[in-house]
């Protein structure tokens, strides 16, 4: 992805504000933990929203608007503010991993990304349960709790640990990632389904995981994590290695070493007879 030419000091400012907002949202997520009064399905079965999502989003919006009143915003719970094709668009997921959170499974984060000219460029992801703040800006590098992070060096799928997820439309489409999940579990050291796309991407960025793929995602799931993976030296594309398009909802993000092999396997499994690979 070609990142726009923005002076480093401006990128740093965007990153600092994103980090401040993610930490503030994390405080809300901690305060509401275990005390939810309202958990409702938004549309599709399993797609939940709670008062924690809404309160965390309000806190993030307040901080971003105070600093960048001229920027556009796309926020998961309250929608769109300004033009989605604007030069600066913040994509906000106030609580990524709502299902985990609602079940008190402590694996969720606040995720805040900045698209510049449509390209994920700056990201901050805060996981309050592990007290980990992942930050990155393309060209400036990436950090976890202010320490530099980098993608892993694993260069064979057979030696890799991957992660993926399943979208809320999984009951409605045969393109539900089930076959890919089972096949890649078969040919790697493992595939995790942790339930928070932003943390999946952050873990690829810091080398805990070697690769991630998923479909059916929204820009707020992806913006921050994609920027952080790229800032940490990773590669992000479409499944077929063409340019990443945040509106496609599909992502392939790896340490770079595994990228071509994982792409090949994803395309391969989509074309063959279900379960025919079990004999491999």
Q: Which residues of the chain form contacts with Ca ion (CB under 5 A)?
A: 76, 93, 95-96, 221
- State which residue has the least CB distance to Ca ion: 96
> Could you say which of Ca ion, ligand IPD, none residue 210 binds, taking C-beta under 5 to 8 angstroms by partner kind?
none
The angle at the Cα of 158, spanning 155 to 162, to the nearest 5 degrees, equals 80
Residue 127, binding choice from ligand IPD, Ca ion, none, Cβ under 5 to 8 Å by partner class: none
In the complex, minimum distance from the CB of residue 2 to ligand IPD, in angstroms, rounded to a whole number: 26
| Residue 217 engages ligand IPD in binding (rule: CB under 6 A) | yes
Structural contact between residues 237 and 150, judged by C-beta atoms closer than 8 angstroms: no
- Total binding residues for ligand IPD by CB under 6 A? 14
Q: What are phi and psi of 202, to 5 degrees?
A: -60, -35
- Indicate which of ligand IPD, Ca ion, none lies near residue 118 (CB less than 5 to 8 Å, by partner kind): none
187 within 8 A of 158, measured Cβ to Cβ = yes
Residue 195 lies near ligand IPD (rule: CB under 6 A): yes
Q: Least CB distance from residue 42 to ligand IPD, whole Å?
A: 9
Radius of gyration of the chain (CA): 18
Q: Which residues contact 76 (CB under 8 A, 6 or more apart)?
A: 53, 57, 92, 93, 94, 218, 220
Cβ neighbors of 59 (< 8 A, separation 6 or more) are 21, 24, 25, 27, 28, 94
Element (H, E) at 111: strand 109-116
Task: Compare residues 96 and 230 and give the one whose CB is closer to ligand IPD.
Answer: 96
Q: Which is nearer to ligand IPD, 3 or 100 (CB)?
A: 100
Least distance from C-beta 96 to Ca ion, angstroms?
4
Least separation in angstroms between residue 153's CB and ligand IPD is 26
- CB nearer to ligand IPD: pick between 13 and 99: 99
DSSP 103: T
Pairing mode, strands 88-96 and 79-81 = unpaired
Look at residue 26 and give the partner it binds from ligand IPD, Ca ion, none, a contact being a CB closer than 5 to 8 Å depending on partner kind.
none
Which residues in 141-170 contact ligand IPD (CB under 6 A)?
165-167
The three-state secondary structure class of 269 is: helix
Closest residue by Cα to residue 256 from 210, 220, 201: 210
In three-state secondary structure terms, 177 is: coil
Using the minimum distance from each CB to ligand IPD, give the nearer residue, 99 or 264: 99
CB of 166 to ligand IPD, least distance (A): 6
**Binding of ligand IPD by 197 (CB under 6 A):** yes
Q: Considering only 12-20, 27-35, 191-199, 233-241, which stretch makes contact with ligand IPD by CB under 6 A?
A: 191-199
Task: Verify binding: residue 210, ligand IPD, rule CB under 6 A.
Answer: no
Cα 59 from Cα 205, distance rounded (Å): 26
Residues engaged in binding ligand IPD (CB under 6 A): 93, 96-99, 165-167, 195-197, 216-217, 221
């Amino acid at each position: 992805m070609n990142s726009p030419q923005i002076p480093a000091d401006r990128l740093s400012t965007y990153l600092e504000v994103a980090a401040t907002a993610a930490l503030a949202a994390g405080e809300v997520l901690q305060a509401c933990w275990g005390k939810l009064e309202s958990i409702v399905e938004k549309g599709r079965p399993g797609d939940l929203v709670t008062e924690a999502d809404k309160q965390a989003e309000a806190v993030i919006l307040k901080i971003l608007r105070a600093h960048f009143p001229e920027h556009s915003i796309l926020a998961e719970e309250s929608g769109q503010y300004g033009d989605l094709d604007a030069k600066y668009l913040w994509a906000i997921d106030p609580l990524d991993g709502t299902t985990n959170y609602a079940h008190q499974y402590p694996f969720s984060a606040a995720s805040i990304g900045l698209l510049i000219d449509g390209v994920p460029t700056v990201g901050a992801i805060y996981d309050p349960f592990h007290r980990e703040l992942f930050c990155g800006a393309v060209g400036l590098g990436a950090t976890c709790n202010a320490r530099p992070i980098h993608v892993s060096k694993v260069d064979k799928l057979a030696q890799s640990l991957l992660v993926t997820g399943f979208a809320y439309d999984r009951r409605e489409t045969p393109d539900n990632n089930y076959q890919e999940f089972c096949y890649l579990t078969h040919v790697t050291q493992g595939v995790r389904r942790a339930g928070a796309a932003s943390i999946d991407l952050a873990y690829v960025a810091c080398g805990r995981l070697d690769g991630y793929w998923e479909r059916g995602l929204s820009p707020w799931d992806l913006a921050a994590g994609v920027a952080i993976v790229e800032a940490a030296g990773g590669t992000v594309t479409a499944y077929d290695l063409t340019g990443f398009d945040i509106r496609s909802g599909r992502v392939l993000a790896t340490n770079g070493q595994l990228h071509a092999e994982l792409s090949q396997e994803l395309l391969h499994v989509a074309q063959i007879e279900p379960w025919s690979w079990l004999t491999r």
